[in-house]
Amino acid sequence: MSFSNLKKQSSLGSLTAKLQKEVEKLNSSASNTDERIWKPEVDKTGNGYAVIRFLPAPDGEEIPWAKMYNHAFQGTGGWLIDNCLTSVGGKCPICEANSLLWNSGSDANKEIARGRKRKLSYYSNIYVIKDPANPDNEGKVFLFKYGKKIFDKIQEAMSPEFEDEEALNPFDFWQGADFKLKIKKVAGYWNYDSSEFARSSELLDGDDDALEALWKKEYSLTEITAADKFKSYEQLKDRLEVVLGKSSSAPKDESFEDEDDDRMPTPSVEEVTSGKSGGMKAQSVSSSFDDEDDDLSYFQRLAES
């Protein structure tokens, strides 16, 4: 483009229009990072409601959920947001560092370990029956990311506590049940205690053709924990050292370039074990979903293995 053409475009406003379109694209991609995942919404009072149906395992897969651990916290060298290798039975350098903190005997170190602990999420295919906040989602298949509280309700449905309660498989097309997702805001966090399964019923009136078509729309769950979703042990260790301020030579992780840099820093392992941290606590990413599993006992088992 010549300078004269550049000036001409400026006078016509076409360059500004192009830039505005690019900004819109960026904003759109940032707000819709994964359109496969359905997320409930709450109103101004913090309450939310939706009705969903958990679906069977996709064709060629056996388990109707995927289980993923991840770490998300900030240190002096930035943020660490990565999937944990324990999700696939591997060893994780972050968990190993946490075990040292947890077993140090220091309450301050335990607090830091809590901030850096792995968080638990599950993924399942769902069929959205009712979504008052976004009616366009109704009648569609999505992935649903949820935490331990909701998974506990699934387990309770499959293995009820009392004799007068009938067991059901929430993931069954014909003998499953709709799940009434009820969200309340408690102490600043989303609470799902009121959520419950309805009575057992056939999905889509048991129409086999409709159910088979629905089944074929499901997303792979094994892909969620595929090898390419994890960094290697060495890569995670390098990233941890950078985040804890122990190293500045490791290559910068592109996934952290967009993070704000005005958050509370976290001291290194050496600082907290030597008492130089001044009691600083690790700041972790808190999700609106109740997706944390209290795995601090994992640190103890790791140290003893």
One pLDDT digit (tens) per residue for the chain, 305 residues: 555 665 666 655 555 666 666 666 555 544 447 899 999 999 999 999 999 999 999 999 999 999 999 999 999 999 999 999 999 999 999 999 999 999 999 999 999 999 999 999 999 999 999 999 999 999 999 999 999 999 999 999 999 988 888 999 999 999 999 999 999 999 888 999 999 999 999 999 999 999 999 999 999 999 999 999 999 999 999 999 999 998 765 444 433 333 333 333 333 334 333 434 333 344 444 443 334 444 545 555 554 55
With CA atoms as reference, report the closest residue to 147 among 106, 187, 183. 183
DSSP secondary structure of 218-240: PPPSGGGG-GGGS--HHHHHHHH
Distance CA 41, CA 49 (A): 8
Interior CA angle at 172 toward 170 and 176, to 5°?
A: 50
Q: Is 94 in contact with 80 (CB distance < 8 Å)? A: yes
- Strands 48-54, 78-83: pairing is unpaired
> How far is the C-alpha of 44 from the C-alpha of 184, rounded, in Å?
11
* Structure tokens belonging to residue 238: 């390098």
Paired tokens of 107: 């309450």
* Residue 188 pLDDT: 87
Task: Domains for the chain: give ranges and CATH numbers.
Answer: 37-304 (3.90.198.10)
Cβ proximity of 80 and 239 under 8 Å: yes
Whether the CB-CB separation of 85 and 233 falls below 8 Å is answered with yes
pTM: 0.73
pLDDT digits (tens, 9 = 90+) for 150-174: 999 999 999 998 888 899 999 999 9
Q: Please say whether the beta carbons of 135 and 111 come within 8 A.
A: no
User: Which of the 8 DSSP states describes residue 88?
Assistant: G
Alpha-helical (H) ranges within the chain are: 3-12, 14-31, 93-102, 107-116, 148-158, 208-215, 233-243, 269-274, 296-304
